[in-house]
């Protein structure tokens, strides 16, 4: 509803991509929910930006990049015709299942912004792929756009991370 209310302000030649989440919402793990979402969008030039890390975070049983790539590709395949909406990929690896299984699902008493940030960063890791699982995902999805979405503080930290991921994604 919010998007539909502002959609006329976006030029018609601009493609709007909706990113999948790892919390409830557009998770991409249920084709019926993807259909429900996109049937309500009152605009033609839309699609999906598949965030691989977010999708991995929906499955805390994933332990390896190979398992993650298989999961991502199977999930995309299960989307059926809605998989064609995937126009881009935010490529990163997030194997945080051990952490996801380690904490109690309740709001802590000492909740503050720093604790929230640390918690989210422990779930959504934004690490580079280190195996050809990245290439497998890109071959499966065939995106028009790839954004290497990695966590770093400085350009000096970013360079080897990008080199690592690019070396296994091509």
What pLDDT, on a 0 to 100 scale, did the predictor assign at position 115? 85
What pLDDT, on a 0 to 100 scale, did the predictor assign at position 80? 97
Beta 145-148 vs 16-19: how paired, if at all? unpaired
The two structure tokens encoding residue 153 = 């503080």
β partners of residue 19: 49
The two structure tokens encoding residue 108 = 């802590």
Which residues, 6 or more positions from 15, have their beta carbon under 8 angstroms from its beta carbon? 45, 46, 47, 87
β partners of residue 147: 90
Every domain of the chain and the residues it spans: 2-169
CA angle, residues 147, 153, 158, in degrees to nearest 5:
50
DSSP single-letter state for residue 15: P
Give the pLDDT of the chain (170 residues) as one tens digit per residue: 999 999 999 999 999 999 999 988 899 999 999 999 999 999 999 999 999 999 999 999 999 999 999 999 999 999 999 999 999 999 999 999 999 888 777 777 778 898 889 889 999 999 999 999 999 999 999 999 999 999 999 999 999 999 999 999 99
Q: Is the dihedral of CA 49, 53, 59, 65 positive or negative?
A: positive
Helix (H) or strand (E) holding 16: strand 16-19
Task: Tell whether pTM > 0.85.
Answer: yes
DSSP single-letter state for residue 106: S
| Inter-axis angle of helices 65-78 and 133-141, nearest 10 | 10
The runs of H, that is alpha helices, within the chain are 2-6, 31-39, 52-57, 65-78, 97-100, 113-123, 133-141, 155-169
The total of other beta-carbon atoms located within 10 Å of residue 96's CB is: 21
């Amino acid at each position: 509803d919010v998007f539909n209310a502002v959609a006329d302000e976006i030029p018609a030649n601009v493609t709007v991509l909706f990113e999948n989440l790892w919390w409830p919402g557009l998770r991409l793990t249920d084709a019926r929910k993807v259909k429900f979402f996109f049937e309500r969008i009152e605009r033609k030039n839309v699609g999906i930006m598949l965030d691989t890390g977010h999708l991995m975070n929906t499955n805390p049983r994933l332990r390896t990049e190979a398992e993650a790539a298989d999961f991502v590709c199977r999930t995309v395949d299960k989307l059926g015709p809605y998989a064609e909406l995937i126009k881009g990929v935010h490529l990163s690896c997030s194997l945080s299942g051990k952490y996801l299984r380690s904490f109690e699902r309740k709001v802590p008493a000492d909740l503050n912004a720093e604790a929230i940030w640390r918690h989210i960063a422990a779930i959504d890791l934004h690490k580079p792929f280190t195996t050809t699982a990245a290439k497998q995902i890109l071959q499966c999805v065939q995106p028009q756009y790839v954004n290497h979405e990695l966590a770093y503080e400085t350009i000096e930290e970013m360079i080897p991370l990008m080199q690592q991921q690019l070396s296994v994604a091509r």
